[in-house]
Amino acid sequence: MRFHRHRSRVWAATALVAAAGLAATLVPPTGAAARVEPAAEHDGADCAVPDPGPPTAEPLLPDPFTSLDGTRVSTLEEWECRRAEIHELAERSVYGEKPAPPDSVTGTVSSSAITVNVTDRGRSTSFSASVDLPSGPGPFPAVIVYGGFGADTAAINAAGAAVISYDPFEVGAEGTSRGDKQGAFYDVYGSSSSTGLLMAWAWGASRIIDVVEQSGGGVLRADATGVTGCSRYGKGALVAGAFDQRIDLTMPIESGTGGVPAFRGVAQENGAQPLSSAYGEQPWLGDAFGSHTGDPGTLPVDTHEILGMIAPRGLFVMENPHVDWLGARSGSVAALGGAQVYQALGAQDNISYWSDVQDGTHCATRSEWRAPLRQSIEAFLLGAGEAPGVFRMAPGRSGDLSQWRDWRTPTLTDGGGDDGGGDDGGGDDGGTDGACAASYRTVNSWSGGFQGEVAVRNNGADALDGWTVGMTLAPGQSVGNLWNGVNTGTSGAITVRNTPWNGTVAADDTVTFGFVATGDSSTAPGGITCTSP
């Protein structure tokens, strides 16, 4: 699904939500009204964020849908301000502050370079980036590529997008102490700023977008921007996409600790880079993060919510399961958690995750990613075709989201309504016999495997109080990873029961579970049944 670039208040006010199929479908407005006002860097900047109070230890992933005042988010408008809360909590505890847009940003855009000049708080600085245009007539969408390695720039150009080669070290240099940070960001905001390099780099990417927006669109389009990078640059790309809502497509590659992998998961994943190591290796993370390295459970946010900040915009996470240090299992947990935000917004096809790759070389250009990369660029930057919408996890490196959450995923509506069955998780007499119905669809397939999804729908007048789905896999098919459900068996006849957070299904409502399986995808699982106590 392609979401046009406009302020979230516009699509929140005009979106249509239908509880049909696998989830509510958010329909973006079309025509001139959809592009009346371009997206802001931070749409929720005017939301009032209450004081969160002192941190309390929470070993599970925080609930993205519960606001700081304890209320549960149920509408698109409420999500905008809940997102603003996550934004501020992440600044305070993880990355450091990203200042408001500067007093002045000027510069130039040519077919080969971008120059950026910034003045704020009485101080000035400048930096530049190079441009590589694809063949054909412009203006072109563009992907900001952090650093000089890891991103498949040839594939980006071939898909029809320009490459903006951005050296983040110009904006925030590595090899400095926390008290003497250097680079264009710190020229303006001070060498002792508590903001880490990842956020400083994100600030620089935003200033590049400012200049492109001012350029008149002769070379580069101002309404079609992506960002990518590998390793430390993958960490940077993630933060840039989360903290600038003008970025249409975010593609972090092998980002490791401090990037996509869940902080709480990294602390328990054997061989993953410890939080203290990532904090001490370079001043990537904000100074405040240091107090949480010994117990990430005290963090008020985790990376599944950072990924959720990108929703409903395009997101393609690429990970390497062959290097333990990169924490791919914790990355899959974060991606599955972030996908719950996409699902709540009716945009579940706009997030993709791929860790099932053969070559273990860090930051290698991988053939497995080329097709979904092109699809993502076409869908989110060129407005053509459909997003990949695939979760393809490496065997043995797939996390189990059910072990990391005790919250439920709502269906966010336009202006109020049901949040997916209530917050108490029970207290009902159960559904009417025959009310529970299940349907299957293949989300994506490839040689030797496929991703499936099952929708559990309540067709009765009363809420379902628990459900069980039975299905039979074809010979040779085997479930490797399943989320939003608890399975018994992995091949042949299997059953899937609800998790603690999605067992209550309101009348006329739907919940889903998904799985990745090996085997021939040409024969769909059969014998689908659904029962409820």
Active site residue 304: no
- Omega before 139 within 30 of 0, i.e. cis: yes
Q: What per-residue string of b and e applies to 483-511 under the rule 16 or more CB within 10 Å gives b?
A: bbbebeebbeebebebbebbbbbbbebbb
Among 347, 443, 428, smallest CA distance to 391 is for 443
Q: How far is CA 475 from each of CA 381, 394, 478, rounded to the nearest angstrom?
A: 41, 21, 8
CA atoms within a 13 Å half-sphere pointing along the CA-CB vector of 240: 34
* Identified catalytic residue from 362, 439, 478, 491: 362
* Identified catalytic residue from 74, 165, 215, 231: 231
Active site residue 255: no
Distance of CA 250 to the CA centre of its chain: 8
- Give the whole-angstrom CA distance, residue 283 versus residue 281: 7
- Give the whole-angstrom CA distance, residue 234 versus residue 255: 5
The answer to whether 224 touches 334, Cβ cutoff 8 Å, is: no
**Burial grade of 360 (CB within 10 A; 0-12, 13-18, 19 or more):** exposed
Residue 10, amino acid: V
Sign of CA dihedral 181, 185, 188, 194: negative
Q: Radius of gyration over alpha carbons of the chain, in Å?
A: 22
Instruction: Report the Cα–Cα distance between both ends of the chain, in Å, rounded.
Output: 36
Beta bridge partners of 269: none
Beta bridge partners of 321: none
- What 8-state DSSP symbol labels residue 16? B
Backbone angles phi, psi at 516, to 5 degrees: -115, 135
Q: Which two tokens stand for residue 307?
A: 């990924």
Dump the DSSP string for 350-413. GEEEE---S--STT---HHHHHHHHHHHHHHTS--S-----EEPPTT----GGGT--------B
Q: How far is CA 90 from each of CA 37, 199, 222, 243, 453, rounded to the nearest angstrom?
A: 27, 11, 27, 10, 32
Beta bridge partners of 493: 472
Catalytic residue numbers read 231, 362
